[in-house]
């Protein structure tokens, strides 16, 4: 049985946050990513310390939203971040 994935953003990204929204620069791909406040919050929480289910429960508890809705949204963001190359590969060192 494999351990649950604990998403972690790539350590080599440059992140600037302004008014709760983030701009993420990926120097490797020479791309900018604009994150709305919700995506910014989830991006910040993807530090490799918790699973998607654990993070979703914490967000749901803090926001008062239903667990199932939050987990669905967090999983969607996880897929988008992964597809955009913003997440570290499983097993990749925490520091570049």
Structural domain boundaries in the chain = 14-83
Please identify, in words, the CATH class of the domain defined by 14-83.
Answer: mainly alpha
Q: Give, in order, the Cα–Cα distances in Å from 22 to each of 1, 37, 42, 58, 96.
A: 36, 8, 11, 21, 21
Classify 15 as helix, strand or coil. Answer: strand
Does pLDDT of 43 surpass 80? yes
Q: pLDDT band for 3, please (50, 70, 90 cuts).
A: confident
- Confidence at residue 94, expressed as pLDDT on a 0 to 100 scale: 55
User: Percent of the chain beyond pLDDT 90?
Assistant: 86
Does pLDDT of 95 surpass 60? no
Query: Of 91 and 16, which is predicted with more confidence?
Result: 16
Does pLDDT of 96 surpass 60? no
The CA-CA-CA angle for residues 59, 62, 65, to 5°, reads 70
Q: Are 23 and 33 in contact (CB under 8 A)?
A: yes
Give tens-digit pLDDT for 22-39.
999 999 999 999 999 999
């Amino acid at each position: 049985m494999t351990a649950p994935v604990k998403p972690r953003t790539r350590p080599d990204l440059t992140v600037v946050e302004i008014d709760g929204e983030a701009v993420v620069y990926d120097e490797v791909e020479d791309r900018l990513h604009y994150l709305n406040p919700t995506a910014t919050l989830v991006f910040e929480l993807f530090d490799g310390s918790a699973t998607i289910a654990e993070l979703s429960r914490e967000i749901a508890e803090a926001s008062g939203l239903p667990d199932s809705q939050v987990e669905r949204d967090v999983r969607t963001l996880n897929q988008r971040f992964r597809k955009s190359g913003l997440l570290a590969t499983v097993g990749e060192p925490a520091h570049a």
